[in-house]
Amino acid sequence: MTKRVIKKAVLAYSGGLDTSIILKWLQDEYQCEVVTFTADLGQGEEVEPARQKALDLGIKEENIFILDLKEEFVKDFVFPMFRANTIYEGEYLLGTSIARPLISKKQIEIAHQTGADAVSHGATGKGNDQIRFELGYLSLDPDIAVIAPWREWDLNSREKLLAYAQEHGIEIDKKGKKSPYSMDANLLHISYEGMVLEDPNAEPEEDMWLWTNSPEEAPDSAEYITIGYEKGDPVSINGEQMSPATILRMLNEYGNKHGIGRIDIVENRFVGMKARGCYETPGGTIMLKAHRAIESITLDREEAHLKDEMMPRYAKLIYNGFWWSPEREMLQAAIDKTQEHVTGEVKLKLYKGNVIVVGRASENSLYSEEHSTFEEDEVYNQKDAEGFIRLNALRFIIEGKKQPARRAHDEVEVCKIETGSVTVCERIKRFFGFGSKK
């Protein structure tokens, strides 16, 4: 097979061992110029050292891009997703999934800016990320070439990777104890996969969790916070206006302190296999609870119910990598329309892993105490309920009046099918008293 001719490739580069090996491999295998792109999504690690590592591997200064994307990540990707109350398979808040379309977008922008004809990523051929990255690339630039080293090279073990690094003078960081897990982190979450977690019946060790206190070790007293919302997005905490990324960072701190946001799940990957993963999403867990609370008083009933029906499809699109698809954009437009009046405040109590809604208020509230009260009122005639109920029951009433004849007919037909004899059926019915007038 003839290898593609690539002049310049933009690599999603973390500065770690794996992507440093990919960088060198691209130079050797494709004889191409490499542009590195490192995204700061609030993962909690310094990204600037990636610049020196890229320089050490021969990358030109003008071909090194390190971008602070925290605000764009939260404002344009996390918040739109949370307007839909999005969770995948009932639990996963999609922390990894929602970061990939932004990384893809920036890689394509940098490719256009630098005249690159290819993009590359470090996702394996077993996971979801390869799909998320590449669907993003091809949605934004159908002509771009995509290089996925894990689907091409034979460096399919840790030993081979380390040997390649040593052979090519790639620095191997031996400082400190490396986590045994495959991890991904950004401002929304941190994930853990692999090693002991590959046994879905093995409880993760407590020291695996890097962000949150265990609920047992969380403070013994509850803490109250108030989140302010405007058109479906959080804009303040305890009355203080904040930027999107700052709000999520602050909610992470509250959640970490109180042991909020841990989950341990087995999920269905798009490529076909099941995978066990553990996640910490402290701020997102708080946001989800708060957003549903403010919606509970500002959305019409049928609007809210239809939105909940749409959400699993929306979540599946994000999980599977279809953020840039027309169907996701169509659903987003409908979801955003529902958020026009989702403005107000939600008061929460945080305590040992729990997020408890204790109050919600909005100038757009549809809650009517006058109508809902158990005390005497002058706006609701309880006698009206009788006609409402009978009209809703009308089809049951009609069916019920027809039912005796239908039931007798159905019993005979079943007997004919099972025994071929109505006589046998009649004897059975008399034995059990079916049709008795007693």
Q: Which residues are catalytic?
A: 18, 100, 129, 182
List, as one string, the DSSP characters of 194-256.
SGGGGSTTSPPPGGG--SSPPGGGS-SS-EEEEEEEETTEEEEETTEE--HHHHHHHHHHHHH
Measured CA to CA in angstroms, residue 63 lies from 22, 51, 55, 133, 223 at distances of 16, 10, 10, 21, 47
Closest to 36 in 3D by CA, of 46, 45, 25, 19? 19
Positions of E strands within 242-300: 262-268, 274-280
β-strand partners of 333: none
Beta pairing class for 64-68 and 33-40: parallel
Closest to 152 in 3D by CA, of 118, 203, 107, 112? 118
Measured CA to CA in angstroms, residue 83 lies from 22, 28, 212, 252, 416 at distances of 37, 45, 25, 18, 56
Determine the Cα–Cα distance for residues 242 and 233; give it in Å rounded to an integer: 12
CA angle 389, 391, 396 (to 5 degrees): 90
Per the CB < 8 A criterion, the answer to whether 397 and 332 are in contact is no
Beta pairing class for 8-12 and 118-120: parallel
Please tell me whether residue 325 adopts helix, strand or coil conformation. coil
Q: What is the DSSP letter of 334?
A: H
For the chain, what's the residue count? 438
Per the CB < 8 A criterion, the answer to whether 308 and 338 are in contact is no
